[in-house]
Amino acid sequence: MQFSDLQLCSPILEAIKSEGYETATPIQAKAIPVILTGKDVLGCAQTGTGKTAAFAVPILHRLNERRVALQPRKPRCLVLAPTRELAVQISDSFKAYGKGLGITRTVIFGGVGQNPQVDALRKGVEVLIATPGRLIDLMEQRHVDLSAVEIFVLDEADRMLDMGFIQPIRRIIATIPQQRQTLMFSATMPTEIRRLADQMLKTPTVVEVARVSSTADQIEETVYRVEKRDKPALLAHLVKELPMYRTIVFTKTKHGADRVVRHLSKYEIKAEAIHGNKSQNSRQRALHSFATNKIPVLVATDIASRGIDVDGITHVVNYDLTHEPETYVHRIGRTARAGASGCAVSFCDREETANLRAIEKLIRRQLKVVNSPLPPSPAPEQQDNRQGGRPSFSDAARGGHQQHQRQDRPQPNDQPQQRDRRDSRPPVGGAFGRPQRPMHGGQRPTGTHAPRQPHQQPAGRGAGHRQSSQPSQQNRPGGNRPPKRGGGKFRHPMRAR
Ligand code: AMP
């Protein structure tokens, strides 16, 4: 469906056009007409499906249809988001799609001084985008009054639940008028979310696009069997060897994220971490460096990564294979957004085998599993005795890459690699009691993880075309560049709003 087929006012259509979008993604095609009628919507959609525009665009249209005088501290629309990053990005979307309308908005979140936020509220805004904690703080201080809210959006409801926001949300909802339009979006629909939806929404239209149990067609997923201690070397190797142009690496913990950054710097790979211990400024700086190609790797914890909206992410690395299968789906959804393609690479050590099984159960298929292309390092107890030691990555980089490409990189038939005879341990891949499966016919061998080109006309992941016949990025002249989108015109990866 084209945006021009939707009954939207011309300034919004113009703004959408200037963003480079013509075709509505599936969630937009389904949700926008319903929201325009004023009905409640329960949207089951992951990030990356274009869901922000799916609610921001019709909300702007409706607010614009009936303009009222600004009232200090009394927004007409409230959008709740779980993290400040997501809140900022939602605000940017309202700004972009509403640029010809003059609809006022502000975003409020914790971790920064409240005075500028209070000032903005005092002047009056039509759209308020907020994280729950700061909103409650400001409500208690009477800087915000929700009694004039006409449209309420709860975004990423399942994450809100994970982050313990359910009570604050109930408190907030209790102060919003019953007579309102409510839109609730969630990537997953566990029982508690359904219960919340039953309480919040009135005969909602359910709009579902990509079920959480299905990962995007455009994502090529590979799992590397690797010992925990070999993960840093494998990551550095893949960043250089594939190469990975714009990569998000997910770690379980904040310290783990910092450790990965330190390890990568030993291999002369620039990376920065974003997590809850970092200041808002340093997170924004890291995101900016990443989006402007100053660093190829961003290392993030799951919570900090929520709402990162950088286009053209070529690779997602699950450095720690999460024990929450839904989180795997969320993580890999950072790549292959809005019709582009991408690669998800997961490191699975022996303790994470059960996590791999759980993920495969959720997505209802087996993932392609290959051995680490690097020789396993000796176990810690062997390290002192070893002679000569494992070749360092820089050794491999100096003379070993070509050799590695010929000999060590798993071949399409994916045979377990030969073992170093000095190492008495079993090979990395076959040791976890899971037979290695051959790759499916037609799949590219591991190591050709260069993503396919995004669609010329992004149509959302629901369009589902794979472009596997495209040459890989690394084979293309000037291949070490981020992919283009939007009809081949290079588009800044971060929304320039
Ligand atoms: P979201 O799911 O809202 O986080 O959006 C994912 C990405 O898709 C964002 O970078 C949007 O700018 C982009 N996007 C949203 N709608 C469209 C569209 N109709 N066509 C192409 N890209 C889109």
Q: Residue 293 has which token pair?
A: 């190609």
Task: Please write the tens of the pLDDT for every residue from 52-70.
Answer: 999 999 999 999 999 999 9
Task: Please write the tens of the pLDDT for every residue from 203-223.
Answer: 999 998 755 444 556 788 999
On the question of pLDDT at 181 being above 50, the answer is: yes
Can you give the pLDDT at residue 306?
64
User: Atom of ligand 1 at shortest distance to CA of 25?
Assistant: 19
Name the region of 311 (left: φ>0; alpha: ψ -120 to 50; beta: rest). Answer: beta
**Spatial CB neighbours of 103, under 8 Å, sequence gap ≥ 6:** 60, 63, 64, 94, 126, 127
Ligand 1 neighbour 51 (Cβ under 6 A): yes
Question: Percent of the chain at pLDDT above 90?
Answer: 48
User: Atom of ligand 1 at shortest distance to CA of 49?
Assistant: 2
Can you give the pLDDT at residue 215?
55
Ligand 1 neighbour 49 (Cβ under 6 A): yes
- Residue 461: pLDDT band with limits 50, 70, 90: very low
Topology of 219-371 in CATH? Rossmann fold (3.40.50)
Sketch the domain layout of the chain as residue ranges. Answer: 3-208, 219-371
Q: Whose CA is nearest to atom 22 of ligand 1?
A: 338
Task: Tally Cβ neighbours within 10 Å of residue 141.
Answer: 10
- Residue 376: pLDDT band with limits 50, 70, 90: confident
On the question of pLDDT at 318 being above 90, the answer is: yes
- Report how far residue 372's alpha carbon sits from residue 376's, in angstroms, rounded to the nearest whole number: 8
**Spatial CB neighbours of 36, under 8 Å, sequence gap ≥ 6:** 6, 7, 8, 58, 61, 62
Ligand 1 neighbour 311 (Cβ under 6 A): yes
Ligand 1 neighbour 48 (Cβ under 6 A): yes
Can you give the pLDDT at residue 381?
57
Q: Candidates 3, 17, 287, 309: which one to mutate for ligand 1, based on the most atoms within 8 Å of Cβ?
A: 309
Ligand 1 neighbour 338 (Cβ under 6 A): yes
Ligand 1 neighbour 50 (Cβ under 6 A): yes
Q: Whose CA is nearest to atom 19 of ligand 1?
A: 24
Can you give the pLDDT at residue 216?
57
Q: Candidates 47, 52, 455: which one to mutate for ligand 1, based on the most atoms within 8 Å of Cβ?
A: 52
Over residues 415-429, the mean pLDDT reads: 30
- Report how far residue 8's alpha carbon sits from residue 19's, in angstroms, rounded to the nearest whole number: 16
Residue bearing the bigger pLDDT, 251 or 446: 251
Q: How far is CA 43 from the centre of its chain?
A: 18
What's the CA-to-centroid distance between 400 and ligand 1, angstroms? Answer: 41
Ligand 1 neighbour 246 (Cβ under 6 A): no
- 130 phi, psi to nearest 5 deg: -145, 155
Ligand 1 neighbour 126 (Cβ under 6 A): no
Q: Whose CA is nearest to atom 18 of ligand 1?
A: 21
- Report how far residue 223's alpha carbon sits from residue 410's, in angstroms, rounded to the nearest whole number: 12
- Residue 238: pLDDT band with limits 50, 70, 90: very high
On the question of pLDDT at 400 being above 50, the answer is: no
Supply the mean pLDDT for the chain.
76
β-pair partners for 272: 298
The domain covering 3-208 belongs, at the CATH homologous superfamily level, to P-loop containing nucleotide triphosphate hydrolases (3.40.50.300)
Residue bearing the bigger pLDDT, 358 or 244: 358
Over residues 266-284, the mean pLDDT reads: 87
Residue bearing the bigger pLDDT, 461 or 23: 23
Residue bearing the bigger pLDDT, 9 or 460: 9
Over residues 468-495, the mean pLDDT reads: 33
Q: Which of 138-152, 367-381, 473-487 has the highest mean pLDDT?
A: 138-152
**Spatial CB neighbours of 197, under 8 Å, sequence gap ≥ 6:** 42, 157, 184, 189, 204
The two domains 3-208 and 219-371 share their CATH topology (first three levels equal)? yes
Q: What kind and span of H or E run contains 361?
A: helix 353-363
Can you give the pLDDT at residue 440?
30
Can you give the pLDDT at residue 380?
61
Angle at 273 between CA 271 and CA 278, to 5 degrees: 145
Residue bearing the bigger pLDDT, 124 or 428: 124
Ligand 1 neighbour 336 (Cβ under 6 A): no
On the question of pLDDT at 82 being above 50, the answer is: yes
Question: Percent of the chain at pLDDT above 70?
Answer: 72
* CA distances, 396 to each of 224, 271, 402, 403 (Å): 19, 21, 9, 9
Q: Supply the pTM of this predicted model.
A: 0.55
Q: Candidates 21, 83, 88, 287: which one to mutate for ligand 1, based on the most atoms within 8 Å of Cβ?
A: 21
